């Protein structure tokens, strides 16, 4: 059954700029202010748990995944697919690092017999996907992709291919990350990946690193006929996806964006489109010197300066394995609202970068068309989604 169409029928987001579909969209259009991290300091997981004990035994990244999935499922309405034909693919970059760090300290300070028996099920990267599967009784493929900052995008792309190839009818797909621990922040900071200025400035001449963030994003993907048969509101179509590796360096992108170019070309081929069909690109745009230069070169090489380009990381910061998922959600909401958000933080173009049609300042009204969502991760992982407006 190859070639089946994939409908996007639900969106759930937990992000510092807004929790829930509408609040997230509003946040994407607002100035986030400055700071070296984007967090949810007032996060309360209890609305998504039966009791506080259950919440305490669940790592923060899994809490985010459960909340985003619940919101996406509510947004989609009642699903009709059989449980064994409903999958869950939720990626992450570093999983339950908060629990891991806490329990290493507990073992060191209090003795190893005081390490929690819940350490392993709380820290394991597949805990988010497993929790969503068990909470809702979904018995289809339940998997976790761990490809650094491309994990959310790869999870959504892999989920779409499960449906296209007839191996599932519905997949709950996305990414979740809660990396704001002292050791993780120190690690990223000591490798000079984080901003020193406290600003996320994608593609700006003053960019000096990313603002680290926590977040989760989940999309409900359904086989097109399954969605239409139940009368679902189709928000967008997942038209194609691709994944490549730079095979170049553990952190630096390939020169000239070679791996990114191939990934975007393969995603276009998967969707049956050409470069001329693309009208909008949600860039990876981390605000790091090498990434933005490489991506700008790749975009210019394939598309010139024609499609509207934005990096929503100017608002959200960089949520690592969840980044691609919340950015795919941003593309879906851009289609629904017929508007492309601006690249917040970008004020001074970099004369060394090739010209791309970067949206800055104010949002831009837009006639929705096929769009790309790009993610590139440490290890040389590249991922691209092709998302378009719903058509008959």
Check residue 18 and give its pLDDT. Answer: 98
Question: What's the rounded Cα separation, in Å, for the pair 317 and 18?
Answer: 13
184-198 pLDDT, tens digit each: 999 999 999 999 999
Among the listed residues 280, 284, 346, 381, the single catalytic one is: 284
333-383 pLDDT, tens digit each: 999 999 999 999 999 999 999 999 999 999 999 999 999 999 999 999 999
Segment 242-262 shows an average pLDDT of: 93
* DSSP 8-state code for residue 17: T
271-319 pLDDT, tens digit each: 999 999 999 999 999 999 999 999 999 999 999 999 999 999 999 999 9
Q: Is the pLDDT of residue 1 over 50?
A: no
- Is 284 noted as a catalytic residue in this protein? yes
213-231 pLDDT, tens digit each: 999 999 999 999 999 999 9
Phi, psi of 221 (to 5 degrees): -105, 130
64-73 pLDDT, tens digit each: 999 999 999 9
Say what percent of the chain tops pLDDT 90. 97
**Phi-psi map region of 136: left, alpha, beta (phi>0 left; psi -120 to 50 alpha):** alpha
Phi, psi of 149 (to 5 degrees): -80, 0
Cβ-proximal residues to 138 (8 Å cutoff; 6+ apart), any chain: 83, 86, 87, 88, 132, 172
Among the listed residues 149, 161, 199, 381, the single catalytic one is: 149
Among the listed residues 154, 199, 280, 318, the single catalytic one is: 318
Least confident of 50-54, 170-174, 201-205, 368-372: 50-54
Six-digit token string for 147: 């490809």
Q: Is the pLDDT of residue 170 over 90?
A: yes
Q: Taking the model in full, what pTM does it have? A: 0.97
Segment 89-105 shows an average pLDDT of: 98
The CATH number corresponding to 8-380 among 1.10.1060.10, 3.40.47.10, 3.50.50.100, 3.90.420.10 equals 3.40.47.10
Least confident of 29-43, 79-93, 99-113, 334-348: 29-43
Q: Is the pLDDT of residue 255 over 90?
A: no
- Is 381 noted as a catalytic residue in this protein? no
Q: Is the pLDDT of residue 2 over 90?
A: no
Give, in degrees to the nearest 5, the angle at Cα 216 between 75 and 226: 35
129-156 pLDDT, tens digit each: 999 999 999 999 999 999 999 999 999 9
Instruction: Count the residues in the chain.
Output: 392
Mean pLDDT for the chain overall: 97
Q: Is the pLDDT of residue 236 over 90?
A: yes
- Is 318 noted as a catalytic residue in this protein? yes
Question: What's the rounded Cα separation, in Å, for the pair 42 and 187?
Answer: 25
Helix (H) or strand (E) holding 239: strand 236-245
Residue pair 311/372 in contact by the 8 Å Cβ criterion: no
Q: Is the pLDDT of residue 33 over 90?
A: no
Q: Is the pLDDT of residue 78 over 50?
A: yes
Cβ-proximal residues to 104 (8 Å cutoff; 6+ apart), any chain: none
* DSSP 8-state code for residue 59: -
Question: What's the rounded Cα separation, in Å, for the pair 8 and 238?
Answer: 7
Tell me the domain boundaries of the chain.
8-380
The terminus-to-terminus CA distance of the chain in angstroms comes to 20
* DSSP 8-state code for residue 233: P
């Amino acid at each position: 059954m190859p070639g089946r169409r994939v409908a996007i029928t639900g969106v759930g987001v937990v992000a510092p700029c807004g929790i829930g579909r509408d609040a997230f969209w509003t946040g994407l259009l607002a100035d986030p202010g400055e700071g070296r991290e984007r967090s949810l300091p007032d996060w309360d997981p209890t609305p998504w748990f039966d009791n506080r004990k259950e919440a305490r035994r669940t790592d923060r990244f899994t809490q985010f995944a459960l909340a985003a999935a619940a919101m996406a499922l509510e947004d989609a309405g009642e699903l009709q697919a059989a449980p064994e034909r409903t999958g869950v693919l939720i990626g992450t970059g570093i999983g339950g690092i908060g629990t891991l760090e806490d329990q290493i300290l507990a073992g060191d300070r209090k003795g190893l017999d005081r390490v929690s028996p819940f350490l392993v099920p709380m820290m394991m990267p597949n805990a988010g996907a497993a929790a969503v599967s068990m909470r809702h009784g979904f018995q289809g493929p339940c998997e976790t992709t761990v490809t650094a900052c491309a994990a959310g995008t790869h999870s959504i792309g892999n989920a779409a291919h499960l449906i296209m190839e007839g191996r599932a009818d519905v997949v709950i797909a996305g990414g979740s990350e809660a990396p704001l621990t002292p050791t993780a922040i120190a690690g990223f900071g000591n490798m000079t990946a984080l901003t020193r200025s406290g600003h996320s400035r994608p593609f700006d001449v003053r960019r000096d690193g990313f603002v680290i963030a926590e977040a989760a994003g989940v999309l409900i993907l359904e086989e097109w006929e399954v969605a239409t048969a139940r009368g679902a509101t189709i928000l967008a179509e997942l038209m194609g996806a691709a994944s490549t590796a730079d095979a170049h360096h553990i952190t630096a992108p390939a020169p000239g964006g070679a791996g990114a170019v191939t990934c975007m070309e393969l995603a276009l081929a998967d969707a049956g489109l050409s470069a001329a069909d693309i009208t909008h690109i949600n860039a990876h745009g981390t605000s790091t010197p090498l990434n933005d230069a490489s991506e700008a070169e790749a975009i210019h090489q394939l598309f010139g300066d024609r499609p509207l380009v934005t990096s929503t990381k100017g608002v959200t910061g960089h949520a690592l394995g969840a980044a691609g998922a919340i950015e795919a959600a941003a593309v879906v909401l851009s289609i629904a609202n017929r508007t492309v958000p601006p690249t917040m933080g970008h004020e001074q173009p970099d004369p060394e970068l090739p010209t791309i049609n970067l949206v800055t300042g104010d949002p831009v009204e837009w006639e929705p068309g096929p769009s790309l969502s790009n993610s590139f991760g440490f290890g040389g992982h590249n991922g691209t989604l092709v998302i378009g407006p719903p058509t008959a």
